[in-house]
Amino acid sequence: MSEQAPVTLALTRGRILDDCLPLLARAGVVPEEHPAKSRKLVFRTSDPGIRLLVLRGSDVPVYVRHGAADAGVVGRDVLMEAGSDGLYELLDLGIARCRLMTAGLAGSPEPGPRARVATKFVNIARRFYASKGIQADIIELSGAMELAPVLGLAERIVDIVDTGNTLRANGLEALETIAEVSARLIVNKAAMKLRPEPLKALVARFAAVTGSAP
Ligand code: AMP
């Protein structure tokens, strides 16, 4: 990639994007169109040195790991699930805060040595239950995890919890906190070596507007 090519920053659509756009604006980076209101996936910005991609969270580390994006903004939950090979996790942006938790039907008994666990976080769930000496029979779902205990598909779920309203609305209760989650700035390791100036400048701009130390 030439020195002139813009830095490509991959953002996670949804809550992280909503919280990230004001941060970017404070850092002087405004997309040509509002990404949530456009069908485009690549956006030029007010800074000719930076272009944005808007992706599903689980795809952000994939683009950054392979160098198709130089940097990305993604939830810690996604990094815990996918691993950080080939990536530097440089800043906690302090946005899109939530918790990764276990949950079950309100008042349900503790699981025995084996438990059926429905989740999209299969690696995190397996590790967490293994650390408690429980063998998790993982049922992989891509959404609506809350339904699984209600319909008897699983005794437990592992999911993102913010207010807990979604759980309560479905007769579930939050149980154990596996991790505190917020959005992180990640950078491709090779890109950091090849193009340190624009990438360090990007990290410094994020650090300045979030008050976090790089
Ligand atoms: P709540 O009802 O406020 O506990 O929100 C629960 C749902 O909102 C979860 O199932 C998640 O899918 C989603 N959610 C909440 N916070 C976040 C976040 N910071 N990032 C991504 N998804 C979130």
At 91-125, the pLDDT tens digits run 999 999 999 999 999 999 999 999 999 999 999 99
79, two tokens: 């990094």
Q: Are 102 and 157 in contact (CB under 8 A)?
A: yes
- Candidate from 17, 160, 177, 181 with most ligand 1 atoms within 8 A of CB, to mutate: 160
CATH T-level fold of 7-96+182-210: D-Maltodextrin-Binding Protein; domain 2 (3.40.190)
Q: Are 122 and 205 in contact (CB under 8 A)?
A: no
56 to each of 75, 101, 149, 171, 213, how far by Cα in Å? 11, 21, 26, 29, 27
211 pLDDT above the threshold of 90 = no
Considering the segment(s) 99-179 as one domain, its CATH architecture is: 3-Layer(aba) Sandwich (3.40)
Q: pLDDT digits over 41-100, tens only?
A: 999 999 999 999 999 999 999 999 999 999 999 999 999 999 999 999 999 999 999 999
- Measure 196 CA to ligand 1 centroid, in angstroms: 34
Q: Is the CB of 142 under 6 A from ligand 1?
A: no
Q: Which residues does 82 contact at the CB level (< 8 Å), separation at least 6?
A: 58, 61, 62
- Which ligand 1 atom is the nearest neighbour of the CA of 145? 10
What are the residue ranges spanned by the domains of the chain?
7-96+182-210, 99-179
Upper half-sphere CA count for residue 88 (Cβ side, 13 Å)? 16
- Candidate from 98, 100, 121, 165 with most ligand 1 atoms within 8 A of CB, to mutate: 98
pTM confidence score: 0.94
Residues 19-44, mean pLDDT to the nearest whole number = 95
- Indicate which residue's Cα is closest to atom 21 of ligand 1: 15
- Measure 169 CA to ligand 1 centroid, in angstroms: 13
Which among 32, 35, 56 has a CA at the least distance from the CA of 46? 32
Q: Is the CB of 182 under 6 A from ligand 1?
A: no
**Nearest 5°: CA angle at 120, between 88 and 184?**
25
